[in-house]
Amino acid sequence: MQEVYLDNAATTKMRNAVVLAITETMQKDYGNPSSSYRIGRKAKSLIETSRKTIAKLLNATSGEFYFTSGGTEANNWALRSAVKDLGVKHIISTKIEHHAVLRTIEALKEEYKIEVTYLNVNEVGTIDIVQLERVLQSTPNALVSLMHVNNEIGTILDLNRVGALCRANNALFHTDAVQSVGHMPLDLNSLEVDFLTASAHKFHGPKGVGFLYIKKTNVLKPLVYGGEQERGLRAGTEALYNIVGLGKALALAYSNLDQETETLRDLKSYFITQLYHAIPNIAFNGLSEDLAKTTHTILNVRFPVTASQTELFLFQLDLKGIACSKGSACQSGSTVKSHVLNEILDPEALEQLSIRFSLSIFNTKADIDYTVQVLKSLIK
């Protein structure tokens, strides 16, 4: 049976060079980074080398990056600390954010009685920028939390425009960039972003490690107390092997960015064309078929099949060796419909089957051909 992995928005396969870097570190550099003797100092130097690599690639200073267990922890840290440490009384977001943001905001609303405004989004997942400006102008002590690339429909936020609005109105700006770091260029020195989160396993690195970027003008307190790791802001012995893997994966992602982006755009375009030719009456959710306005990695397809058949349909694809999803991996197994599609689709469209396919450099046209063939056989 052919195996086709098309759920790269959930997680990605590690590059061989990343696996080798991690394995070598595990075998040779097993010292505790907090120890003062030689093998401890070597471990510490590897962590700082990865931090400097990230900083150089994203055009920021190394002291602005803190390693975490992934994007979820980083999002929690940024949002919670903004409320606890920086006096934020009002969070502005949308209902199509990742649950790592949405549920943190709801918890903060309950615990600290902060105000929350959810911006309107249109049928393609774009925010109402006029509404954002109006809310910012009337809201002191605010933080805006908007994801850079939506993990279900691939819509891209204009970070420059939102950041400029936040700065003009003295608001903080947090962006969940889990789906964009390693996939598109980011210049944090020129962006008005206060907090940015990333996760290594989304760009062919290891699971269990990510980072939080904190612009140096913001001073947060620890979310986890204990030792002096991460300059006293995140206690606990560092995940050395994962941090090395993160640095290696990000370096490889950006060294090959232009070529791999072009390859994936071509592959996504080919997928769209083949779907149109093979299956009548399909549609694409959001702007996911627009290569200029969405990420080159995500395609969200709506099929002329009822939504009640979704789980059976995905099971049938799985039996044919095709891995894809109906949305965020964090909702896998849930019978609840996608909260993102629920916000942007009309009731009739919402009753149809929608599937997210997400691509990586390990996919080929042969994968697409096989997938389209199977889809066509299932939709009769």
Q: CA 143, CA 172: separation in Å to the nearest integer?
A: 5
Strand order in the sheet with 172-176: 65-68, 210-214, 195-199, 172-176, 142-145, 90-93, 115-118
Which entry of 129, 319, 330, 366 is annotated as an active-site residue? Answer: 330
DSSP letter assigned to residue 132: H
Sort residue 125 into left (φ over 0), alpha (ψ -120 to 50) or beta: left
Alpha helices, DSSP H only, in 208-322? Answer: 240-255, 257-278, 310-319
**Whole-angstrom Cα distance, residue 285 to residue 380?**
21
- Cα separation, 217 vs 206, in Å, equals 30
Give me 33's structure tokens: 């980074």
Nearest Cα residue to 72 out of 94, 102, 52, 93: 102
Count other C-beta atoms under 10 Å from residue 36's C-beta.
8
Q: Under a CB-based contact definition with an 8 Å cutoff, are residues 227 and 235 in contact?
A: yes
| Beta pairing class for 90-93 and 142-145 | parallel
Question: Would you call 166 a catalytic residue per the annotation?
Answer: no
Q: Is the dihedral of CA 74, 80, 85, 89 positive or negative?
A: positive
The shares of helix, strand and coil residues in the chain, as percent rounded to the nearest 5, are: 45, 15, 40
The C-alpha atoms of residue 85 and residue 332 are separated, in whole angstroms, by 34
Alpha helices in 29-61 (DSSP H): 38-58
Other beta carbons within 10 Å of 263:
16
Residues labelled catalytic: 330
